[in-house]
């Protein structure tokens, strides 16, 4: 395919991107602070989606599609002639986590209607940053559309953290709804803020994030008054034994391929003086190697059902919301490293493996492309290349922690990163060989 002749060199266009990113930087910060102060949980991102769609429409994009898989939004920017299509993705939902990050724009939102709630709600994973940075990038790229070829899709995805278990949602639902069918991306790209030094771009060849599933374990006994436990069947000891037994599952799979099984929520239908009839355990499995997931699930099901039986209870196990690993193919990383270095200079590092998950994998694994990380905290690297708190700073607070924070001054780096990757892919310099 013949390349389009551009009216300015790539370096001149990068300079233009930088100036446009600086010009929109204050607005990006305002968006981020507004979203941080008004977070919405998965599949409830009504006002967030409205803000996104309103701004995309103001840019004069060719299309702004709304209501995709709930509250997903896709903006379509068709530029000059060219067959390449890049999908830039940001997740928009918040978490049921209190906000203790100590900023004046902290969230005080409490959702009293969400299943399992009420919940304090916050952007403790940084999706407010992702949304604001992609809105900034849309502004920059729309302003340069006459100098670009191909098409940019701005994909704002709901329910990345997982919808309520009885609702569809997330990346797979967006794809099933045709979010990227017309035109189909030739590359998907996104990044996640992380407690790394500010402005550092982190990448990993292979699995950037692990495979994941949601676990539901139900143990049924027989309800009875707490004064006469022999008259019923107490499911609580079975639940405790399962929790203890999970600690032995790691010894049953290859120790050189990390896995975790974590139970994060326990529900029961008892009372201080009632032995309830049911205990439900909610958790997650994470696997660095995706093919290990089936083995871990089998062993967890065996442990839970047999342990329940040993306590004269019955047990069932369901595995829900499977999310594949985010895989960065070596050829995509090799192609993108020059772009990353144009954005961040020497602040481009290869990161260690993580068992975090992100359903951006549905986009990257289907269309090709990359998912990386962007440091946003007062951190530095030690001699072994591991992040640690920087002297005199706010310290480090990991994602999903109530104290998680992000530095506003770093957001402009994310705007530039989206713009540079989009241009380099559309112009043909960021392609796997």
- Sheet with strand 314-323: strands edge to edge: 259-268, 278-287, 211-220, 314-323
- Rounded CA-CA distance 226/53 in Å is 55
403 has binding-site annotation: no
Half-sphere exposure of 429 (CA within 13 A, CB side): 15
DSSP of 80-135, one letter per residue? EEEEEEEEEEEE---BS----S--TT----EESSSTT--EE-B-TTSHHHHHHHHH
331 has binding-site annotation: no
Token match 């098409």: residue? 151
CA distances from 409 to 27, 101, 281, 383 (A): 12, 17, 41, 26
383 has binding-site annotation: no
CA distances from 15 to 9, 19, 151, 202, 427 (A): 10, 6, 21, 23, 16
Residue 151, strand partner residues: 78, 85
Distance of CA 207 to the CA centre of its chain: 14
Helix axes 127-143, 46-58, angle to 10 degrees: 10
Residue 400 has what DSSP assignment? T
127 has binding-site annotation: yes
400 has binding-site annotation: yes
Give the three-class secondary structure for 301: helix
- Rounded CA-CA distance 164/169 in Å is 9
- Residue numbers in the known binding site are 125, 127, 161, 192, 400
Q: Which residues make up each annotated binding site for Mn(2+)?
A: 125, 127, 161, 192, 400
């Amino acid at each position: 395919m013949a390349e389009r002749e551009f009216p300015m060199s790539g370096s001149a266009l990068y300079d233009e991107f930088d100036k446009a990113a600086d010009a929109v930087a204050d607005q990006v910060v305002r968006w981020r602070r507004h979203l941080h102060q008004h977070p919405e949980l998965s599949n409830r991102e009504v006002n967030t989606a409205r803000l996104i769609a309103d701004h995309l429409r103001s840019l004069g994009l060719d299309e702004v599609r709304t209501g995709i898989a709930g509250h997903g939004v896709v903006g379509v920017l068709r530029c000059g002639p060219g067959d390449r299509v890049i999908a830039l993705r940001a997740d928009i939902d918040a978490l049921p986590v209190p906000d203790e990050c100590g900023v004046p724009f902290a969230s005080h939102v409490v959702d009293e209607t969400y299943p399992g709630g009420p919940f304090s709600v916050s952007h403790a994973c940084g999706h407010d940053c992702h949304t604001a940075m992609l809105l900034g990038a849309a502004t920059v790229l729309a302003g340069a559309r006459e100098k670009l070829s191909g098409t940019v899709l701005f994909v704002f995805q709901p329910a990345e953290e997982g919808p309520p278990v009885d609702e569809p949602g997330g990346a797979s639902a967006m794809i099933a709804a045709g979010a990227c069918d017309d035109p189909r991306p030739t590359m998907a790209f996104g990044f996640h803020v992380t407690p790394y030094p500010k402005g550092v771009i982190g990448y990993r060849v292979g699995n950037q994030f692990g495979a994941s599933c949601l676990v539901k374990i139900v143990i049924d006994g027989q309800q009875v008054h707490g004064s006469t436990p022999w008259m019923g069947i107490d499911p609580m000891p079975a639940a405790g034994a399962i929790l203890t037994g999970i600690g032995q599952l790691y010894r049953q799979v290859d120790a050189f391929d990390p896995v975790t099984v974590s139970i994060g929520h326990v529900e029961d239908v008892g009372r201080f003086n009632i032995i309830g009839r049911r205990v439900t355990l909610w958790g997650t499995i994470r696997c660095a190697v995706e093919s290990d997931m089936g083995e871990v699930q089998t062993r967890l099901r065996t442990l839970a059902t047999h342990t329940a039986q040993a306590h004269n209870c019955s047990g069932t196990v369901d595995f829900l919301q499977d999310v594949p690993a985010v895989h960065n193919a070596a050829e995509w990383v090799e192609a993108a490293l020059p772009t990353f270095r144009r954005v961040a200079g020497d602040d481009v590092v290869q990161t260690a493996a993580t068992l975090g998950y992100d359903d951006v994998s549905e986009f990257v694994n289907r269309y090709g492309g990359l998912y990386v990380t962007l440091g946003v905290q007062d951190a530095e690297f030690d001699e072994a290349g591991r992040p640690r708190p920087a002297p005199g700073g706010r310290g480090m607070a990991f994602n999903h922690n109530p104290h998680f924070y992000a530095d506003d001054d770093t957001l402009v780096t994310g705007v530039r990163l989206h713009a540079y990757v989009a241009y380099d892919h559309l112009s043909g310099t960021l392609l796997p060989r």
